[in-house]
Chain A
Amino acid sequence: MSRNANDAAENTSADEILRFAGVSMRYGRGPEVLSDVSLSLPRGSFHFVTGPSGAGKSSLLKLIYLAARPSAGSVRLFGEDVAAMTGRDLPRTRRRIGVVFQDLLLLDHLSAFDNTALPLRIAGHKPSEYRNDVAELLTWVGLGARMEALPPTLAGGEKQRLAIARAVVNRPEILLADEPTGNVDHEMALRIYRLFVELNRLGTTIIIATHDQDLVARSARPVLHLDKGRLRPLPPQGPMAEPAE
């Protein structure tokens, strides 16, 4: 299996969930942070996005979760051209995407339970419809005993898992995670990775931006490797072994 997923951009598939065609991006009048990126990801796939700091990993994710627009090229998400989406389409599309932000963006004044329930409330669901699901999800990510805790009182790994719970609570079709194991120890990184694998088994398309080469190497998942804003072939890796799932 090829580990460079950008080759797939040349082929169109009915089951394609994301397509970049010649995408470039810059912030304001600054230099390009992404240049001529083309890729195609099938529904239900699991990809890592790797590359050195400043390579454009977070910018790539921002384009996918609609926090930024490309300066050139086109992005198709769920089969729709992002450039053609109206102001009303954007919130609806964002609700189909779960994001674990690099800085987590947990709301400190809300409990773990309220933080997790946030996407469901925004989507207009009634509390009676999701109360038990939220509790079950928090228990699944190992926060069953911390549901009332405020984020500042949680440990680093607990915060990461809370952010993941919030990202997946409304069963998104795509889950994006920006450095989800950046601030946790190796053991916790593996636990978080297993969470993503489990979600992927349930049908969620997963894209993880990470610096954790060890995790990438051991996972044997396809990689989108960025260098100076361009997709490049993955540099030579050592022997790989799938982490225990």
Chain B
Amino acid sequence: MSEPFDPARWRPASFLPEEDARDPALLFVVAVLCFLACLTGLGVIAGNRAAQDWASQLTGEATVIVRARGGETPDAAAARAAEALAGVPGVTEARALEKEKAYALIKPWLGDVADLEDLPVPRLVAVGLDRKTPATAAALDKALKGHGLDAVVDDHSVWIKDIRRAAGVVRWTAGTLLVLIAGAAGAVVAFATRAGLAARRDVVEVLHLTGAEDAQIANLFELRFALVAAVAGAAGAAAAALLGAILRLMGGGQGITPALPIAWIDLLAVLPCPLLAALVAAVAARMTARRLIQRL
């Protein structure tokens, strides 16, 4: 026989049926959207790191093309250029590359030429630059001209600009994607709120006629959908973090591709996802619920 009801042990039940908070379709859709949002976020972080690494590498180097003048041999001109550049502030190293490297560079265009020694092939000087205070292309040019050398300085600035522009495009694209995903999540929750209100019109009507304020009723739906979104957000974030961890394990520090070098710390970026999902859902549910309740 069951125990008699004890009012002292009574705890108020939720005004909305508990089973409504376990709508599997809504949970799944929001979780998938959160998973995609987290993946996008991880992709942006990794892509940004790749762009920074490449730009940093290019910033630390310059290439000088040296052409021999008068009776001077190309090798002698390259050696003299390396010597001149080594003394420029902001240069950490200047090294004339072997002629074989210069030949290898032009081989794709000239094919197998029997005797390249007969051609006036310019020599290359690799210049290492101080990363904090690198020498400018103008300073290198001035030093070379000061030593009477016919040379062209390539400080990779064109490439760096391209890489930075590409990284910017990736960031903007990802930002747009995140806004679209947040909008889609908000729309899904708004739709679910409308359906929830329609399904629970009896509850809304009773609360309304018993003296509940519009905000009180809207709060019920706001809290309900914020909770659903938080749970779904946590699931989506966990799945994205798991995938990120797998990619990190498969590819090591470089990731599965040099374009996406995922670091362990990047996985922490998914942590705000449940909170943000709850926030988007709460705002969408509140706006929808208040609009519909006012029509009652």
Contacts and interface: CB of A to CB of B under 8 A. Distances in A.
Interface of A: 65, 67, 87-88, 91-92, 94-95, 99, 101, 105, 107, 109-111, 113-114, 117-119, 121-123, 127, 131-132, 134-135, 147-148, 166
B13 A114 contact: yes
B1 to A, nearest CB: 12
9 nearest A-B pairs in the assembled complex, by CB-CB distance: A95-B211, A94-B211, A135-B7, A109-B17, A131-B7, A147-B5, A91-B213, A122-B212, A114-B13
Given A110-B13, A111-B13, A117-B12, A99 B7 contact: no
B211 A105 contact: no
Given A114-B12, A121-B12, A131-B10, A107 B213 contact: no
B105 interface: no
Given A105-B205, A105-B206, A91 B211 contact: yes
A23 to B, nearest CB: 20
Interface in B211-228: 211-214, 216
Interface in B191-233: 202-203, 205-207, 209-214, 216
B5 A107 contact: no
A131 B8 CA distance: 7
Nearest to A147: B5
A59 B215 CA distance: 27
A118 B206 CA distance: 9
Contacts of B10: 113, 127, 131
Nearest to B203: A107
Interface string B6-23: 011011110101100000
B70 to A, nearest CB: 94
Contacts of A110: 13, 15
Contacts, number: 62
A132 B202 CA distance: 27
A99 B13 contact: no
A148 B5 contact: yes
Given A95-B211, A118-B210, A122-B207, 4 more contacts: A94-B210, A105-B205, A107-B15, A127-B11
Interface of B: 5, 7-8, 10-13, 15, 17-18, 202-203, 205-207, 209-214, 216
B69 to A, nearest CB: 90
Contacts of A123: 211
A107 B220 CA distance: 15
B90 to A, nearest CB: 70
A105 B206 CA distance: 7
A107 B12 contact: no
A122 B8 contact: no
Given A113-B7, A121-B12, A107 B211 contact: no
Contacts of A105: 202, 205-206, 209
Nearest to B17: A109
A65 B210 CA distance: 9
Contact of A87 (B206, B211, B214): B214
A166 B211 CA distance: 13
Contacts of A127: 10-12
21 contacts: A65-B209, A87-B214, A94-B210, A94-B211, A95-B211, A105-B206, A105-B209, A107-B202, A109-B13, A109-B17, A113-B7, A114-B12, A118-B210, A122-B207, A127-B10, A127-B11, A127-B12, A131-B7, A132-B7, A135-B5, A147-B7
Most buried by B among A95, A107, A114, A134: A107
B215 to A, nearest CB: 10
A232 B5 CA distance: 49
Contact of B210 (A109, A122, A134, A147): A122
A236 to B, nearest CB: 36
A127 B6 CA distance: 13
Contacts of B209: 65, 67, 94, 99, 101, 105
A67 B7 CA distance: 33
Contacts of A111: 13
Contacts of B210: 94-95, 118-119, 122, 166
Nearest to B211: A95
Nearest to A128: B8
Contacts of B207: 118, 122
Max chain A CB contacts within 10 Å: which of B10, B209, B210, B216? Answer: B210
A87 to B, nearest CB: 7
A109 B199 CA distance: 13
B146 to A, nearest CB: 83
A227 B290 CA distance: 38
B19 to A, nearest CB: 8
Given A95-B211, A122-B212, A127-B12, A107 B206 contact: yes
A31 B211 CA distance: 29
Contacts of A92: 211
A121 B209 CA distance: 14
Nearest to B210: A119
A180 B211 CA distance: 21
Name the residue in B5, B11, B207, B213 with the highest tally of chain A Cβ atoms < 10 Å from its Cβ: B5
